Structure 1
Amino acid sequence: MAEAKQINDTVSDLPEGFKMTELGPLPEEWEVVRLGDYCYVGSGGSAPQGEKYFNGGKYPFVRVQHIDNEMDVIKNYDLVTDEAIKDYNLKLFKKGTIIFPKSGASIYLEKRAILPFDAYIVSHLCAVNSKHENLDQKYLFFFLKFKKLADEKADGYPTLNLSEIKEVKIPLPPLSEQKAIAYVLQTVQRAKEAIEKVIQATQELKKSLMRHLFTYGPVPIDEVDKVQLKETEIGLVPEHWEVVRLGEVSLKPQYGFTASATNQPIGPKFLRITDIQNGRINWNTVPYCKIDDTLLRKYQLESGDLLFARIGATTGKSVLINECPEAVFASYLIRVRVNLNQLLPEFLFYFAQGNLYWSQIDAAKGGRLKQGINIPVLLSLHIPLPPLHEQQTIAHILQTVDQKIQAEKAKKQALEILFQSLLHHLTTGKLRLKDMVLSEAKEA
């Protein structure tokens, strides 16, 4: 579909058919143009203030937070009224307009999106539309994804002035090649979006499964009417299940070790709250700490340990230790080891992801982020206690779903790497497209 042409980015060794430009080596037939000469560049209006401007609204109004961080799509929007449009002199932007943040910390996220419908936008968003017949709007969108506009905005309040945006230089291939570049990139992007939909659907399946499993146990949906339930402190559970406090089925919980982290391998790995992302640990990025042998034995992590964040925005979140290198855990974490004759750590880990657990954590925090939790709070939590074989079945079902989610995320990550590589090579002319792709792009 495409042939690679490796380009040495030095003036002294330009390959045949390339020229040096202010953007670096580019194909000779490409131009470099100023964004403001080829595009309309504008911004939205002030966000209406007051319920009356939204109650009964019917016109889309897009804010910065409505742009998805990963998929470059509009994930939500408000609806404003005719009165809002009139009182705030809002301007309508047409479907297909490119939008991105131009002020505030969001500019560092480099979010981009194309309006999927006519909409009004907030003043913090910049709007760009090609006004030249030789600049394809979709190609422009992908170039703006490649161009990091916030690179030089490290100091002060982050703002991209419209005048600065207009000065951005664009590499301009022939129109047919622009369309081909956009076609290839859009194909990969659509594949990413399809996988993201699979991930979201599987995550919703997991939520539904958890509600079912922790209410009826591991029985088929068409047999739930046969399950005898009882009312407990955490709601309905099967009649033969117990509900106990965590302290009754766990060994003595423990706060973590206090030390300074370092990237130098001077001791064991030093696991902190920030090293736990979405219930998973990348041990390659976990730092080290210095600790003597006695304390190492006290704080060393083992397979089956459960760690709970006790303070901050992640309060209550947990991770299950499976295989791990020699490692200890930091003081903002609480370690729980369970009595394996009564409770499986995998079952507790999945329970700690559901609403029955989080309602208790939120009540303990009292709505105050800094309140955090402590060992007595954890020990007092009510948890369901099915027979061990049912715990094992429930954990296995949810592990299988998690494996599916992780497999799809790995596919998405691979496509993202491919997309970023193509984005760079296609918009710099290092990868040129064959005629076949050009014809496919025309037909698309």
Structure 2
Amino acid sequence: MKIEAIPAEATRFKETELGPLPEEWRVVRLGDLWKQGILWIKNGFSQGDFNEQGSGVPHLRPFNVNEWGEISLPQIKYVAPPPDNSPYWVYKGDVIFNNTNSEDLVGKVAYFDREGKFVLSNHMTIVRVQDSKVLNGAWLAKWLLHLWYQGFTQTLARRHVNQASISLARLRSIPIPLPPLPEQRAIAYVLRTVQEAKEATDRVIAALRELKKSLMRHLFTYGPVPVDATDRVELKETEIGPLPAHWRVVRLGEVVELRKGTVSPAEVPEARYVGLEHIDSGEIRIRRFGKASDTRSAKAIFHAGDILYGKLRPYLDKAALAEWDGVCSTDILVLISTEAVDRTFAAYLMHTDFVLHHAIATTTGVNHPRTSWKSLSQATIPLPPLSEQREIARILRSVDEHIEAEERKKAALEALFKTLLHHLMMAKIRLPEEFVARFAEATP
């Protein structure tokens, strides 16, 4: 879809309480539309008997609205269904508004575009368009999302212990601009198209991550051979399962060594600092870091090419290959690969079940479970010849690079969505008249 937007200079503006807006746009309040019967607004209901087994009907809660104005269902819970005539049913086309949440999340909003029966919790409000000849529900959801991004919705909240809430009266006080209906539909369509592109990218990333998991199992069982050639690989039974006959089984400590040495942050204030929070689970690349000057207490020293392994809560599966020198938390083991192992292969090896399960089994402590190098070094691992190690690392790195490219695409789409949301809602850019004309009917 390619649309040439109209610059703001081509529009005649008038001053409003929301700032300069096109002359043909009106500014009203949600309460005005409610009084006129254009909107129906109702809070959800409180239901304490939840279950996660799918008994009853899905019960939407604040967790089910994400920051992009979308319904998300990974933490869905179920309740007994209310009567068929209950006002708490959610219908396709409703706008879902979080009326109670933490201070930064209260006012999150989503457009409900799903099929099926759902009910709403009392921490949420249904805003339903009853006269679609005046107002488009998808556009209204995007306007409220814009206000949340701008921080306006949060200013309406009353603060309580650990949460904030927005009353129906305050919700009805929210001002909204009303472009002509075709323009509302066109704006909603453009923004939804960007969201769909982001969602498609999310699905590609998820599929690539699943591919990587499958590849890890395949490569560390059969080696770098095509999936359809595994029957030609001569296997042998080992203490860690079947492996190619020419591979060795060794202890981790035979091919990886512990780097020792700490330094005070005051001695290296400009050094890059890596904490566990900077390492992504299951990934070998470090994408974030801090500064040593922002930390206290002694830090471990690492160099480019070292492997940083999170010994605290090892079930989080944090291990990365350093691409530069720096310092790190002492809850991170700094490991050096020997000549017997390729460093990139070793970094991926730290994410295999051979190491992960051993690390989890050797943790001590209840509140802060940790493994140790003494324990971890005894993990039994497969060791292919160097040439196969490098090929395995190359294959996995190519998948990671593909994932990183898709993540950059996703980040660009997210930035585009936020920019378009602001500029279209405030008429800083306008959609061309011939494009808007396609939305004169409800279904363009």
Structure 1 length-normalised TM: 0.84
Quote the offset at 1:350 in angstroms.
Answer: 1.5
The aligned residue for residue 108 of structure 1 is 105
Aligned partner of residue 49 in structure 1, secondary structure: coil
CA distance in 2, matches of 1:249, 1:98: 58
Q: Judge which range, 201-210 or 68-77, deviates more.
A: 68-77
The aligned residue for residue 286 of structure 2 is 281
Give, as a single letter, the amino acid of the residue that structure 2 aligns with 1:331: T
Aligned partner of residue 180 in structure 1, secondary structure: helix
CA distance in 1, matches of 2:255, 2:87: 61
The aligned residue for residue 371 of structure 2 is 373
Quote the offset at 1:337 in angstroms.
Answer: 0.5
Contact kept? 1:98, 1:141, Cα under 8 Å: yes
Aligned partner of residue 303 in structure 2, secondary structure: coil
User: How many equivalent residue pairs?
Assistant: 422
Quote the offset at 1:70 in angstroms.
Answer: 5.4
1:244 aligns with 2:245: no
Give, as a single letter, the amino acid of the residue that structure 2 aligns with 1:388: L
Quote the offset at 1:266 in angstroms.
Answer: 4.3
The aligned residue for residue 10 of structure 1 is none
Change (3 A) 1:402 1:137: same
Aligned partner of residue 217 in structure 2, secondary structure: helix
Contact kept? 2:64, 2:75, Cα under 8 Å: yes
Change (3 A) 1:376 1:315: farther
Quote the offset at 1:427 in angstroms.
Answer: 0.3
Q: Judge which range, 234-243 or 407-416, deviates more.
A: 234-243
1:91 aligns with 2:98: no
The aligned residue for residue 320 of structure 1 is 321
Quote the offset at 1:201 in angstroms.
Answer: 1.2
Change (3 A) 1:375 1:213: same
The aligned residue for residue 163 of structure 1 is 169
Contact kept? 2:142, 2:421, Cα under 8 Å: yes
Change (3 A) 1:35 1:277: farther
CA distance in 1, matches of 2:328, 2:201: 35
1:147 aligns with 2:147: yes
Q: Structure 2: state its 5+ residue gaps.
A: 34-38
CA distance in 1, matches of 2:31, 2:173: 6
Quote the offset at 1:397 in angstroms.
Answer: 0.5
Change (3 A) 1:150 1:401: same
The aligned residue for residue 189 of structure 1 is 195
CA distance in 2, matches of 1:236, 1:429: 64
The aligned residue for residue 30 of structure 1 is 25
Following TM superposition, the consecutive aligned residue runs of length 4 or more in structure 1 with deviations greater than 6 angstroms are: none
Query: Out of 210, 218, 226, which is 1:204 matched to?
Result: 210
1:310 aligns with 2:316: no
Contact kept? 1:71, 1:193, Cα under 8 Å: no
Quote the offset at 1:419 in angstroms.
Answer: 1.2
Quote the offset at 1:203 in angstroms.
Answer: 1.2
What's the CA shift string for 1:182-205, capped at 9, x where partnerless?
Answer: 111112111112222111111111
The aligned residue for residue 12 of structure 1 is none
Aligned partner of residue 430 in structure 2, secondary structure: strand
1:138 aligns with 2:138: yes
The aligned residue for residue 423 of structure 1 is 421
Aligned partner of residue 61 in structure 1, secondary structure: strand
The aligned residue for residue 5 of structure 2 is 3
Contact kept? 1:254, 1:375, Cα under 8 Å: no
CA distance in 2, matches of 1:357, 1:47: 44
1:259 aligns with 2:269: no
Contact kept? 1:267, 1:290, Cα under 8 Å: no
CA distance in 1, matches of 2:418, 2:291: 28
What's the CA shift string for 1:320-342, capped at 9, x where partnerless?
Answer: 112x2x52223232100111x21
Quote the offset at 1:134 in angstroms.
Answer: 0.9
CA distance in 1, matches of 2:109, 2:240: 42
Contact kept? 2:258, 2:373, Cα under 8 Å: no
Quote the offset at 1:432 in angstroms.
Answer: 1.0
CA distance in 2, matches of 1:290, 1:124: 39
Structure 2 length-normalised TM: 0.84
The aligned residue for residue 17 of structure 1 is 12
CA distance in 1, matches of 2:98, 2:308: 38
Contact kept? 1:58, 1:79, Cα under 8 Å: no
Aligned-residue Cα RMSD (Å) equals: 3.3
CA distance in 2, matches of 1:252, 1:354: 19
Give, as a single letter, the amino acid of the residue that structure 1 aligns with 2:31: G
Give, as a single letter, the amino acid of the residue that structure 2 aligns with 1:286: G
Q: Judge which range, 365-374 or 162-171, deviates more.
A: 365-374
1:220 aligns with 2:218: no
Task: Map 1:55-94; keep pairs closer than 5 Å.
Answer: 57=55, 59-68=57-66, 72-76=70-74, 78=76, 80=78, 83-85=80-82, 91-94=88-91
Give, as a single letter, the amino acid of the residue that structure 2 aligns with 1:3: A
CA distance in 2, matches of 1:254, 1:113: 54
Q: Judge which range, 273-282 or 300-309, deviates more.
A: 273-282
Task: Map 1:340-351; keep pairs closer than 5 Å.
Answer: 341-351=339-349
Fraction of identical pairs, as percent: 34
Aligned partner of residue 439 in structure 2, secondary structure: helix
